[in-house]
Amino acid sequence: MTLDIAHWRRWIGRTETAEDSVTPRLLRDYAATMDAEISDTAPLALHWCLAPPAMPTSALGPDGHPERGLLLPPVPLPRRMWAGGALTLHHRLHLGDAVRRNSRIADVVVKEGRSGTLCFVTLEHEIFSPRGLAISERQDVVYRDAGGTSAPPTPAASRAADWEEERKTSTALLFRYSALTFNGHRIHYDRPYAMEVETYPGLLVHGPLQATWLLEFAAKYGGAAPRAFSFRGVSPLYDFASFKLRGVRDGAGAKIWIETAEGVVTMEASATW
């Protein structure tokens, strides 16, 4: 496989604009998926359900992702996942808002990791409502080689927490969240594909779904929506895992994370108010 980083870096600066609106149906379906109450104020992470790429089914790859080379560079490494990101929340979205998202490729970098070659693509998004800039976002996407399944993560010593909640997932939840975000990646809903082709032990819980839980968790225990929120995927979270959301005060902010019953941290985040 030829890794043409110079060619991929030509995508830096490429932009895209997408538009959508916060509809009653979206708020209803989101609340049903998350077992939450419906409100005219949009959930903090609803923007990940707005204006998703809507490629024809015939243009999807074998993994269910859209073909590459449009906004994202044509990186030939077969596995693509969210690695993390950061949000600045300027104001909340509301029912009826017309929303515009301006996206830009900010960087493309190739690194060597324990699992082989990794290509990181950094996107910057600005999300506008009728009241101006609502959300500034950095999104980190990682491409990696297929290879074999990585060694199981080593459980860390459990950290003390000021707050914690037990959570659970299900195949229905993963399917519904894939539908809300129009995410065709088969690792989230097609168990035979996830296990036999991508060699995972089960279905993977979406990175944005984990980040959504942590963002709402921070808002609940911090008393208000955080002004800034950053998150990083550490290890995969599978649909069969028992896990908790945990958090600790950290000066004017908080450190929060998802930890399985075996002590494996799957995502960690920081929030500041």
Q: How many domains does the chain have?
A: 1
**Please, what's the b/e burial string for 195-231 (b: 16 or more CB within 10 A of its CB; e: otherwise)?**
eeebebebbbbbbbbbbbbbbbbbbebbeebbeebbb
Q: In CATH, what number is assigned to the domain containing residue 189?
A: 3.10.129.10
pLDDT exceeds 80 at position 115: no
Could you tell me whether strands 163-167 and 243-250 are parallel, antiparallel, or unpaired per DSSP bridges? antiparallel
Task: Phi first, then psi: give them for residue 168, nearest 5 degrees.
Answer: -145, 160
Q: Please give the structure tokens belonging to residue 123.
A: 């996107």
Which long-range contacts (C-beta less than 8 Å, at least 24 apart) are formed by 27-30? 27/95, 29/176, 29/180, 30/180
User: Residues 17-36: pLDDT tens digits?
Assistant: 999 999 999 999 999 999 99
Query: What secondary structure, in 3-state letters, does 108-140 show?
Result: EEEEEECCEEEEEEEEEEEEEECCEEEEEEEEE
Give me the pLDDT at residue 171, please.
96
The CA R_g of the chain, rounded to the nearest whole Å, is: 18
Q: Measure the CA–CA gap between 235 and 268, rounded to whole angstroms.
A: 10
Residue with tokens 């942590």: 214
* Residue 29 belongs to domain spanning: 5-272
Distances (CA, A) of 3 to 25, 135, 201: 43, 34, 29
pLDDT exceeds 90 at position 156: no
CA torsion, ordered 191, 192, 194, 200, to nearest 10 deg: 100
Average pLDDT on 129-143 reads: 97
* Total residues found in the chain within this entry: 273
Give the pTM. 0.93
Average pLDDT on 7-14 reads: 93
Task: Phi first, then psi: give them for residue 272, nearest 5 degrees.
Answer: -135, 150
Which tops the pLDDT comparison, 149 or 113? 113
Average pLDDT on 232-243 reads: 96
Segments in the chain forming alpha helices (H): 5-8, 24-34, 171-180, 191-196, 207-222
Sign of CA dihedral 90, 95, 97, 100: positive
Q: Measure the CA–CA gap between 160 and 162, rounded to whole angstroms.
A: 7
Give me the pLDDT at residue 62, please.
87
